[in-house]
A and B are shown apart, each in its own frame.
Chain A
Amino acid sequence: MIRDVTLGRYYRQDSFVHTLDPRTKLCGVAFLIAGIFISSSVISCIFTMLCIAALVWLSRVPLRYMVKGLLPIFVFLAVVAVLNIILVPNGVFRAILISLRVVEVIFASNLLCLSTRPREISNGVETGFSWMRHLKVPVHDLATIVSIAFTFIPILAEEARRILDAQTSRGLDMRKGGLVKKTKASVSVIIPMFVSAIERAENLAVAMESRLYGCGEPTRLHPLKYSYDDAAAYVCIFTYLLVVILMKVGRL
């Protein structure tokens, strides 16, 4: 499953969604997530799902590619749904609603990562929240942390695959045995992963400092600029949220 991780990976494509300003996409995802949590009926959840489906279609990222990377999460969701059905009164309705909500949140945030390069997300966070500097919030550092976190997800997944291959060639078989044996076996992958991640973080910190990170206010090579497409996207985003709120008020 490690081989199939697509979370945090950028998918190169020339599409309407890819060319939008990262601030627009961040705002869009924030409004989508707000809309998902405002929705309390299956109909409004389905409406949100249709909106996300339209975005996926506009992004031209193959649905199969998106779904493949989320398979482990679907397994987790299935377990949660079954527990809801068994343990909670009116559980079938709750199970469907919770599953739909989680799937929507995952799809929305995954679409942001697939259509936006990590440095664009970081740039968008920094520019969009630049007003918070007046409140002494270290916006630039926070944006860098977000950017590095996104960059590291596929790198660490690749590292995990490499370590797993090395341990498999030493006779490790993660498919054999019960839960306890599998957990014990996973230690041989998790510890080298931690060691490697800490070493990488340390090297990155030194490399950044040696290139004068934190020594002054950095300038931008490509300053962000809104286009007419962004204006159209904002209209769609606000309309979506308005519809969801109206559905909630009208108990639809």
Chain B
Amino acid sequence: MIELRNVSFSYPSDGRQQVKVIDDVSFSIQDNGFVGITGKIGSGKTTLCKLLCGLLKPSSGQILKEGRVALAMQFPESQIFENTVLKDVMFGPLNMGLPEEQARSVAEKSLESVGLDGSFFDRNPLRLSGGEKRRVALAGVLALNADIYVFDEPATGLDSRWHDSLFELLHRLNDSGKTVIIVSHSIDDIAENCRTLVYLEDGKVADFGNTADVIPRHRSLETRAMGFARRLASEGMEIDYTKAVTRKDLADLIASRIQFQG
């Protein structure tokens, strides 16, 4: 479980007026949750990520955590530095104090979970393709064997095939009992995958709750499925677009309006 109590954060001042990036934020995330954090650019998403992981300390308030938190930063492939894939993934487990054999075993399992088999282990990670580098970097984070995983914009720059397999991986992680927190500006990704949503506006929690309940309350959180349903409603179809949060919801709503013949 992770709980934020009246957390505020300001970056150090350069002699001018300080701006509160995170302002009196309170919410709690239960174990095994699948949570999305969204908001406009500059709403404090990445700062909140760093606060959750302990990379930043709150200026005021408290963050209570049960279990270890691991962070996959935006473009995590920039963290790669070793000369083989396996060594790079072992970096985290070795820092945690695991013996080399155990670290190797954890790293191999992590690499396999992201779809990289033994043929990749001894390759130079800096010479892999962009998608493969992202997998190596994610394996490096998964190898930390944390209880809570925070992913900052995990799908940025991915093609649709790897995008889908990434979210499959996150669901597998969640099914194995881990708490998954995704920070993303893509409301479609959050609507399709997250059960709980934190909506940030100017560093404050504008809304928090069940994703299917929060999204229809804010016009700025309209998903593509909702936009399509609204278009159908404006064309005369009797459809409540606020109920078409995900693609599946939309398909169900349309199916209920179509009369099949034969």
Q: By the criterion CB–CB under 8 Å, are A163 and B79 in contact?
A: yes
Q: Which residue of A lies closest to B146 (CB)?
A: A169
Q: Which of A6, A165, A168, A187 contacts B81 (CB 8 A)?
A: A187
Asked whether any CB of chain B lies closer than 8 Å to the CB of A221, the reply is no
Residues of A close to B12: CB separation below 8 A: 3-4
Q: Which of B14, B55, B80, B81 contacts A169 (CB 8 A)?
A: B55
Q: By the criterion CB–CB under 8 Å, are B79 and A195 in contact?
A: no
Asked whether any CB of chain B lies closer than 8 Å to the CB of A196, the reply is yes
Q: By the criterion CB–CB under 8 Å, are B15 and A62 in contact?
A: yes
Q: By the criterion CB–CB under 8 Å, are B70 and A192 in contact?
A: no
Residues of A close to B92: CB separation below 8 A: 170-171
CA distance A167 to B73 in the complex (A): 10
Asked whether any CB of chain B lies closer than 8 Å to the CB of A172, the reply is yes
Asked whether any CB of chain B lies closer than 8 Å to the CB of A65, the reply is yes
Q: Which of B76, B95, B126 contacts A171 (CB 8 A)?
A: B95
Q: By the criterion CB–CB under 8 Å, are A65 and B79 in contact?
A: no
Residues of B close to A3: CB separation below 8 A: 12
Residues of A close to B141: CB separation below 8 A: 169-170
CA distance A162 to B15 in the complex (A): 23
Interface string of A164-185 (1 = CB under 8 A from B): 0111111111000000000000
Asked whether any CB of chain B lies closer than 8 Å to the CB of A211, the reply is no
Q: By the criterion CB–CB under 8 Å, are A165 and B91 in contact?
A: no
Interface string of A1-38 (1 = CB under 8 A from B): 00110100001000000000000000000000000000
- Least Cβ distance of B10 to chain A in Å? 14
Asked whether any CB of chain A lies closer than 8 Å to the CB of B140, the reply is yes
Q: By the criterion CB–CB under 8 Å, are B79 and A170 in contact?
A: yes
Given A64-B15, A188-B91, do A171 and B96 touch, yes or no (CB 8 Å)? yes
Residues of A close to B80: CB separation below 8 A: 192, 195
Asked whether any CB of chain A lies closer than 8 Å to the CB of B243, the reply is no
Residue from the set A159, A162, A170, A173 with the largest chain B CB neighbour count within 10 Å:
A170
Q: Which of A64, A65, A192 contacts B78 (CB 8 A)?
A: A192
Residues of A close to B230: CB separation below 8 A: none
Residues of B close to A173: CB separation below 8 A: 95
CB proximity to B under 8 Å, residues A23-65: 62, 64-65
CA distance A61 to B55 in the complex (A): 30
Q: By the criterion CB–CB under 8 Å, are A192 and B79 in contact?
A: yes
CA distance A189 to B144 in the complex (A): 19
CA distance A173 to B91 in the complex (A): 12
CA distance A192 to B137 in the complex (A): 12
- Least Cβ distance of B12 to chain A in Å? 8
Residues of B close to A167: CB separation below 8 A: 79, 91
Q: By the criterion CB–CB under 8 Å, are B81 and A170 in contact?
A: no
Asked whether any CB of chain A lies closer than 8 Å to the CB of B50, the reply is yes
Asked whether any CB of chain A lies closer than 8 Å to the CB of B37, the reply is no
Asked whether any CB of chain A lies closer than 8 Å to the CB of B71, the reply is yes
Q: By the criterion CB–CB under 8 Å, are A188 and B81 in contact?
A: yes
CA distance A170 to B95 in the complex (A): 7
- Least Cβ distance of A71 to chain B in Å? 13
CA distance A159 to B74 in the complex (A): 12
- Least Cβ distance of A63 to chain B in Å? 9
Residues of B close to A162: CB separation below 8 A: 73, 78
Q: By the criterion CB–CB under 8 Å, are A165 and B78 in contact?
A: no
Given A163-B79, A188-B81, do A169 and B91 touch, yes or no (CB 8 Å)? no
Which residues from chain B sit less than 8 Å from chain A, CB to CB? 12, 14-15, 50, 53, 55, 70-71, 73, 76, 78-81, 91-92, 95-96, 126, 140-141, 144
When A and B form their complex, which 3 residue pairs have the shortest distance between CB atoms, in order from nearest? A171-B95, A62-B15, A166-B79
| 18 residue pairs A–B, Cβ–Cβ below 8 Å | A62-B14, A64-B15, A65-B14, A65-B15, A159-B78, A165-B73, A166-B71, A166-B76, A166-B78, A168-B55, A169-B53, A169-B73, A170-B92, A171-B95, A171-B96, A187-B81, A188-B81, A189-B81
With A169-B73, A173-B95 given, can you name 5 additional A-B contacts, CB distance below 8 Å? Answer: A163-B79, A165-B71, A170-B91, A170-B95, A192-B81
